[in-house]
Structure 1
């Protein structure tokens, strides 16, 4: 009897072990299982629903490229060891609450390219270990409050290419460890600032293909750990507010394929930790001097495919760590050595696909052609004709001094110019110069200021100095400066303005500009200048007398009216007698021993 019991128990044990082994090693129909890798591959099997019978020790489950429409509640509850689940490329339109409950060890969940329109709160409950979630390429319209509240360990959220029109303020509540968020091609009309402020650990933010025209102030507040911000393919973005990036400590900033016409210097000035800046494919025309100096740690600037016409001297002054400049595919004709803080730090230079004029201004680049890294793209000369289409590497050291030359600036007409004129006269001083490259012309006024192209005293486009309606204070010497990369030249002229007699007039400045007054205007102007007050003494006396008479007339009428009114009321007493009892000096009431009093009042 004992032996029989032992045999029966052994048989049941073998059957039990066999059953468990079969369950652990089972594989659903039409799927491929790989026990050694603990993978279940059901991709492209025309499945209409999630199959049953998965091995409980599976760690990876691939259900991509099927026709699954719905994921039910606790659909995968038996897969305790599952770490990766991919439901991409199906037609899923509904995921029930607690659909992934029980997947305690799941680290990666992909639901990419489906037909989800809304995600109910609670769908992602029971996923404490999830690190990566991909919801991109769906039709999601809105992220509701607390959609991701239990995903405390999520690090990356892919939410691009949806139809998002709104992200609720607390949609990202609970994502306290999220480090990377990607939003791409949505219908958002504003930056979801309040929702983003919930992501205290965010280090990388990518926002692509929006139709927003302005990056507003405080757009990314409270994202103190954000290090990388990528904004790209916003065709309407033409304004970056001065405080839009305030509070950020970025090391990498990309704003490319937008509509910026100028570098947003004021918005960048506080980014002292910035190392990488990419403003490529914006219609920016100039990099101005001395406006990037606050970016102390900047190492790379990319401004490819823009509309750059010039980079001013000193543009990168103060950037001691600057090592790479990429300005390929612009309209630059030159790049002067004075642009940089130190050309010795420069390692990579992309200067190709620009109409470069190969003269003395680019000689410093050509002489470094063997040490400087052009990133596999050699710059090519566009002018002069002698070197057209030649790459920098083709020049020998011997021919450089002969080919890469400049002619210093020279003022062509150096005859003395002196003008002695009366006040109100317009004076022109000519200053024509020649040189290669063509020199720039500027004027210094008699007060040692640079003359601007606008105003009464201005520099015309051809370099001529115009002094309109000269004033006595304009007298003095003016200096014309003509300069290029090879040298400078100067010319001094004199202006002497004689004041007009008092009966002569000079033009005056109106809203339409400087106007020559008529005779009547001049007479009125002279009269106004001679009289400090708007009225003379006679006018003041007449006005005062008339006012006083008007006052007396009003008072008389009032008395007449009061007289007739009193007559209509009968006899009027003109006196009145009043009895009174004075208060005690000790503050008591009127006692018996108090004496009364009487006084008579006459009414007037």
Structure 2
């Protein structure tokens, strides 16, 4: 028995040894593979972050790190100190698709630095001190961003061979004059940005059949030669804000959807010459010197018209029926007539603040059956306009001369969520009026001369019970309540309770449920700003 037992034990030990040996072999093999892979994986440079997708991001480096692998697909360097960019910095990185060097004080780029990078699609050298556009860029380039440098001259040779370039940005440089013929070789260009160059003159015609976005904002352009835009047959967006234009450019392309002409010197516009712009959806004309607009009805697809900060005394006649947002704030308009809004069934946002409107015809906006926001603050209104659309969600009447709120003014506004009556001459409001505003959430009543009688405190009780956030203001009368906040003052409650005209217990219960005039307890910031698009 003993010899058989020993044989079995020996056999098991031998088999166990073989298993352990194989596992040791496998472990050694895995360790060897790990070290081999690690040896072949490039070390990520100091002050950089490297990811598995082949992108390297570096911050505050003094040169393009030499440890960056040749297989890197994207290099992103910011806030460095790289005064000169040389061929040897990146020429061997044949797989490079994106090179971004910003905020690094770069003054020059050696010739041919990017020439051999056949995979390069994006080159971004913004926020540096370059005086010249890099030469001999690769034909694979699709995006070139050179904004915020010191470039003063643009030559046709800079763009030779860039048949695939889609985006070109040269904003905030010092290009005082530009001949657009230098760009005509960029047949695939879709977006061109030339903002903030103080350009005084542009010349030449250019054929860019695929250009969709053109921005020349904040220059010193006074005019354009005839036919300047005629070849841009696919242009959708044109931004000429902040120039010295006294008239709209002629021959604007019929394809335009958005036209920006704010902060120029326009005095009068006749849109009869722009009949071809049947697709125009957005027109920005704020902060000019416009006193009249004629023929705006020819813009038959217009949904947004911005006219704030001009010298208009009347609402332009025959506005397009497609209009959805109309801003006429900061003008000299005195009167609102129903005939100007009879066909505006699609209007949603109407801004008329900071005018001198004293007359608002009854039912002037009743056909605007989609109107949700109406801004009438800082005018001369003595009452809330009658028969406003029931769709209103926000109504601003701050800074008028309203003395009394009447039932017929509110009874149709069942969707109203925000009502601003600040800084008027209202002294009391009937507590029964709030039943007509079932959806009211925010109410601004401060800076009015409130007469805090015990009867008026019923308004306080109703507003609190409805859970409305109220900025109530302070009492002006009677004298014993002067300066007290009528929505939260316990002194006012005690005075009324003493006269048995108001239940102190009810007042105390209200105090437990809310503290309306305490800003820290409110759900929203009680200022005048709201995002008009949320309603």
TM-score category, normalised to shorter length: 0.5 to 0.7
Equivalent of 2:47 in 28, 31, 41: 31
Residues of 1 paired with 2:325 and 2:367: CA distance? 14
- Structure 2: runs of 5 or more not aligned: 1-30, 386-396, 412-535
Residues of 2 paired with 1:395 and 1:363: CA distance? 17
The answer on 1:351 being equivalent to 2:371 is no
Task: Indicate the structure (1 or 2) with the bigger Cα radius of gyration.
Answer: 1
In the alignment, is the contact (CA less than 8 A) between 2:179 and 2:204 conserved in 1?
no
How much has 1:303 moved relative to structure 2?
Answer: 0.7
Residues of 1 paired with 2:359 and 2:52: CA distance? 65
The answer on 1:140 being equivalent to 2:154 is no
Distance 1:229 1:264, change over 3 A: farther
**Map of 2:234 onto structure 1:** 225
SS in 1 for 2:269: coil
Equivalent of 1:207 in 216, 231, 242: 216
- What is the count of residue pairs matched by the alignment? 369
In the alignment, is the contact (CA less than 8 A) between 1:193 and 1:220 conserved in 2?
no
How much has 1:331 moved relative to structure 2?
Answer: 1.6
**Map of 2:336 onto structure 1:** 335
Distance 1:104 1:264, change over 3 A: farther
In the alignment, is the contact (CA less than 8 A) between 1:255 and 1:279 conserved in 2?
yes
Give TM-score scaled by structure 2 length: 0.62
SS in 1 for 2:380: strand
Distance 1:148 1:24, change over 3 A: farther
The answer on 1:273 being equivalent to 2:279 is yes
The answer on 1:237 being equivalent to 2:237 is no
The one-character-per-residue Cα deviations of 1:149-202 (angstroms, maximum 9, x if unpaired) are: 2222222111101111343454324322111111112242222442xx132210
The answer on 1:79 being equivalent to 2:93 is yes
**Map of 2:176 onto structure 1:** 165
Residues of 2 paired with 1:61 and 1:391: CA distance? 62
In the alignment, is the contact (CA less than 8 A) between 2:236 and 2:258 conserved in 1?
yes
**Map of 1:53 onto structure 2:** 67
**Map of 1:309 onto structure 2:** 313
In the alignment, is the contact (CA less than 8 A) between 1:76 and 1:101 conserved in 2?
no
How much has 1:137 moved relative to structure 2?
Answer: 0.7
Residues of 1 paired with 2:35 and 2:178: CA distance? 52
The answer on 1:299 being equivalent to 2:303 is yes
How much has 1:230 moved relative to structure 2?
Answer: 0.7
**Map of 2:463 onto structure 1:** none
**Map of 2:372 onto structure 1:** 373
**Map of 1:570 onto structure 2:** none
How much has 1:269 moved relative to structure 2?
Answer: 2.9
Distance 1:99 1:15, change over 3 A: farther
How much has 1:101 moved relative to structure 2?
Answer: 3.1
The range that moved more, 61-70 or 102-111, is 102-111
How much has 1:293 moved relative to structure 2?
Answer: 2.6
Distance 1:357 1:56, change over 3 A: same
How much has 1:262 moved relative to structure 2?
Answer: 1.1
SS in 1 for 2:364: helix
In the alignment, is the contact (CA less than 8 A) between 1:149 and 1:173 conserved in 2?
no
How much has 1:138 moved relative to structure 2?
Answer: 0.7
SS in 1 for 2:216: strand
Residues of 2 paired with 1:362 and 1:215: CA distance? 46
In the alignment, is the contact (CA less than 8 A) between 1:240 and 1:267 conserved in 2?
no
Please show how residues 413-452 of structure 1 align to structure 2 within 5 Å: none
Residues of 1 paired with 2:370 and 2:279: CA distance? 28
The answer on 1:98 being equivalent to 2:99 is no
How much has 1:228 moved relative to structure 2?
Answer: 0.9
Please show how residues 412-561 of structure 1 align to structure 2 within 5 Å: none
SS in 1 for 2:182: coil
Residues of 1 paired with 2:383 and 2:253: CA distance? 52
In the alignment, is the contact (CA less than 8 A) between 1:146 and 1:173 conserved in 2?
no
In the alignment, is the contact (CA less than 8 A) between 2:345 and 2:367 conserved in 1?
no
Which structure has greater strand proportion? 1
The answer on 1:383 being equivalent to 2:381 is yes
How much has 1:246 moved relative to structure 2?
Answer: 4.1
Residues of 1 paired with 2:166 and 2:131: CA distance? 23
SS in 1 for 2:298: coil
Give TM-score scaled by structure 1 length: 0.55
**Map of 1:476 onto structure 2:** none
Distance 1:277 1:250, change over 3 A: same
The answer on 1:68 being equivalent to 2:82 is yes
How much has 1:380 moved relative to structure 2?
Answer: 5.5
The one-character-per-residue Cα deviations of 1:535-565 (angstroms, maximum 9, x if unpaired) are: xxxxxxxxxxxxxxxxxxxxxxxxxxxxxxx
In the alignment, is the contact (CA less than 8 A) between 1:193 and 1:221 conserved in 2?
no
Residues of 1 paired with 2:162 and 2:34: CA distance? 37
Residues of 2 paired with 1:103 and 1:17: CA distance? 32
In the alignment, is the contact (CA less than 8 A) between 1:110 and 1:134 conserved in 2?
yes
**Map of 1:586 onto structure 2:** none
SS in 2 for 1:133: strand
In the alignment, is the contact (CA less than 8 A) between 2:344 and 2:368 conserved in 1?
no
The answer on 1:43 being equivalent to 2:59 is yes
How much has 1:274 moved relative to structure 2?
Answer: 1.0
Residues of 2 paired with 1:71 and 1:15: CA distance? 40
- Structure 1: runs of 5 or more not aligned: 1-13, 402-604
SS in 2 for 1:364: coil
The one-character-per-residue Cα deviations of 1:464-507 (angstroms, maximum 9, x if unpaired) are: xxxxxxxxxxxxxxxxxxxxxxxxxxxxxxxxxxxxxxxxxxxx
Distance 1:114 1:342, change over 3 A: same
Distance 1:81 1:337, change over 3 A: farther
Residues of 1 paired with 2:409 and 2:180: CA distance? 67
Distance 1:390 1:73, change over 3 A: same
**Map of 1:482 onto structure 2:** none
Residues of 2 paired with 1:140 and 1:149: CA distance? 18
Residues of 1 paired with 2:234 and 2:367: CA distance? 40
How much has 1:227 moved relative to structure 2?
Answer: 1.1
